[in-house]
Chain A
Amino acid sequence: DTEVTQTPKHLVMGMTNKKSLKCEQHMGHRAMYWYKQKAKKPPELMFVYSYEKLSINESVPSRFSPECPNSSLLNLHLHALQPEDSALYLCASSLRTANKETQYFGPGTRLLVL
Chain B
Amino acid sequence: AQSVTQLGSHVSVSEGALVLLRCNYSSSVPPYLFWYVQYPNQGLQLLLKYTSAATLVKGINGFEAEFKKSETSFHLTKPSAHMSDAAEYFCAVSGTGGYQKVTFGTGTKLQVIP
Interface residues of A (CB under 8 A from B): 2, 4, 6, 31, 33, 40-43, 45, 48, 50, 55-56, 90, 92, 94, 96-108, 110
A42-B90, A42-B106 as given contacts; A98 in contact with B100, CB under 8 Å: yes
Number of residue pairs across A and B with beta carbons under 8 Å? 62
What bracket does the count of chain B residues touching chain A fall in? 20 to 34
Residues of the A chain whose Cβ atoms lie less than 8 Å from the Cβ of B49: 102
Residues of the A chain whose Cβ atoms lie less than 8 Å from the Cβ of B36: 105
Interface residues of B (CB under 8 A from A): 32, 34, 36, 41-46, 49, 51, 90, 94-97, 99-102, 104-107
Interface centre among B95, B99, B101 (most CB of A within 10 A): B99
The secondary-structure label for the interface of chain B is: loop
Contact indicator A110/B41 (Cβ below 8 Å): yes
Contact of B96 among A6, A40, A99, A104 (CB under 8 A): A99
Contact indicator B99/A43 (Cβ below 8 Å): no
User: What are the 5 A-B residue pairs with the smallest beta carbon separation, nearest first?
Assistant: A42-B104, A100-B32, A105-B44, A107-B43, A105-B43
A48-B100, A107-B43 as given contacts; A41 in contact with B95, CB under 8 Å: no
Task: State in angstroms the CA–CA spacing of A14 and B34 once bound together.
Answer: 37
Task: State in angstroms the CA–CA spacing of A104 and B100 once bound together.
Answer: 12
Task: State in angstroms the CA–CA spacing of A92 and B94 once bound together.
Answer: 15
Contact indicator A56/B43 (Cβ below 8 Å): no
Q: Closest B-chain residue to A108, C-beta based?
A: B43
Contact indicator B96/A108 (Cβ below 8 Å): no
